[in-house]
């Protein structure tokens, strides 16, 4: 009796599964769930941007008296003009550009050189160095801030543009591991053939390894540029001089001890978003291709 009952239930389950499979109900449910999650994620990303965008066009009194999603009464550019002039946004953009270019170039050079040596050469302590890189990543960066600040101050690099550039070049362990992973797909026979033809190690590095690492370099460049553009802590701590202000610290000028000018901060955020949006729209194909090919082992 029990066996017959279990058999009947099993047949009912199989019929139920076949019904859903052949009727397309499961596919429809999966599609609905997928698009629901995508819409929900898009709303989480877009809604804060809309709040900032609407707030950028409001006056101080209007910002404090109206709702976050209420449209401004007047679409004026007064806040943008004030932020650009009082915040010295032109200088901030220039300093940010110089910092990103120099730090990214230095990080790419040190990352490719270190990964090339660790992957292509055999020497005593090689595995220890690779493990040390991994252990350093696991250590919170805040634990070394006091010692780092003392070293920077002792080298007379405080309040100079060199500080964030050096820190970005010397602490990019992620770039080294991205290059190490990508080097696995580059045959060592290319190096050996070039060396047999009389090429030195530096020529092999610059003329063979570097061009082949271009997809990984795009990935590193994207990650490094975004990190430097959004970094507030390092410029705020090591570059307090007004002439060294960058995009991430310029908005702090409109936050005072007795209140914040949120309408101006919103306008500054919109201005800071414009270059990133333009770069993404123009170079989105290269960004997607670089992220995929640079992060996946071929």
**238-272 residue pLDDT tens:** 998 888 999 988 888 777 654 678 888 899 899 99
Asked whether residue 76 is domain-assigned, the answer is: no
Are 117 and 61 in a shared domain? no
CA pair distance 55, 113, nearest whole angstrom: 47
Question: How is residue 71 annotated by DSSP?
Answer: P
Mean pLDDT on 163-190: 84
Percent of the chain with pLDDT over 90: 15
Q: State the residue for tokens 């291709």.
A: 289
Same domain, 176 and 218: yes
> Are 102 and 245 within one domain?
yes
Least confident range from 37-46, 121-130, 258-267: namely 258-267
Question: In terms of domains, do 141 and 278 share one?
Answer: yes
Number of separate domains in the chain: 2
Cβ distance 111 to 205 under 8 Å?
no
Q: In this structure, what token pair is assigned to residue 42?
A: 């898009």
pLDDT tens column, 71-102? 888 888 888 998 898 888 889 999 999 999 99
- Whether residue 173 is contained in a domain is answered as yes
Contacts for 232 with CB less than 8 Å, ≥ 6 apart = 248, 249, 252
Q: Which domain holds residue 19?
A: 2-65
pLDDT tier for residue 27 given thresholds of 50, 70 and 90: low
Measured CA to CA in angstroms, residue 63 lies from 56, 75, 104, 234 at distances of 9, 13, 38, 31
User: Do both 37 and 102 map to the same domain?
Assistant: no
DSSP-derived 3-state class of residue 261: coil
pLDDT band at 5 (very low <50, low <70, confident <90, very high): very low
| CATH number of the domain residue 114 falls in | 1.10.3720.10
């Amino acid at each position: 009796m029990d066996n017959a009952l279990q058999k009947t239930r099993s047949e009912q389950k199989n019929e139920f599964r076949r019904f859903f499979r052949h009727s397309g109900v499961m596919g429809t449910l999966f599609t609905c769930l997928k698009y629901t999650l995508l819409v929900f994620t898009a709303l989480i990303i877009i809604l804060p941007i809309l709040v900032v965008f609407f707030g950028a066009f409001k006056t101080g009194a209007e910002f404090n008296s109206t709702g976050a999603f209420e449209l401004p009464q007047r679409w004026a550019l007064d806040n943008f003009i004030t932020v650009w002039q009082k915040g010295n946004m032109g200088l901030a953009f220039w300093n940010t550009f110089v910092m990103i270019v120099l730090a990214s170039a230095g990080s790419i050079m040190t990352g490719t050189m270190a990964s090339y040596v660790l992957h292509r050469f055999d020497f005593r302590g090689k595995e220890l160095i690779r493990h040390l890189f991994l252990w350093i990543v696991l250590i919170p960066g805040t634990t070394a801030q006091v010692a780092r600040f003392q070293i920077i101050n002792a080298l007379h690099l405080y309040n100079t543009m060199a500080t964030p550039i050096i820190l970005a070049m010397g602490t990019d362990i992620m770039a080294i591991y991205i290059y190490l992973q990508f080097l696995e797909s580059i045959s060592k026979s290319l190096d050996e053939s070039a060396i047999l033809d009389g090429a030195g190690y530096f020529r092999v590095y610059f003329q063979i390894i570097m061009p082949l690492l271009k997809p990984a370099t795009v990935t590193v460049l994207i990650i490094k540029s975004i990190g430097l553009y959004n970094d507030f802590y390092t410029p705020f701590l090591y570059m307090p001089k007004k002439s060294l202000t960058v995009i991430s610290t310029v908005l702090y000028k409109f936050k005072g001890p007795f209140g914040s000018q949120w309408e101006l901060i919103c306008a500054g955020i919109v201005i800071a978003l414009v270059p990133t949006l333009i770069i993404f729209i123009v170079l989105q194909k290269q960004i997607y291709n670089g992220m995929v090919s640079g992060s996946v082992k071929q």
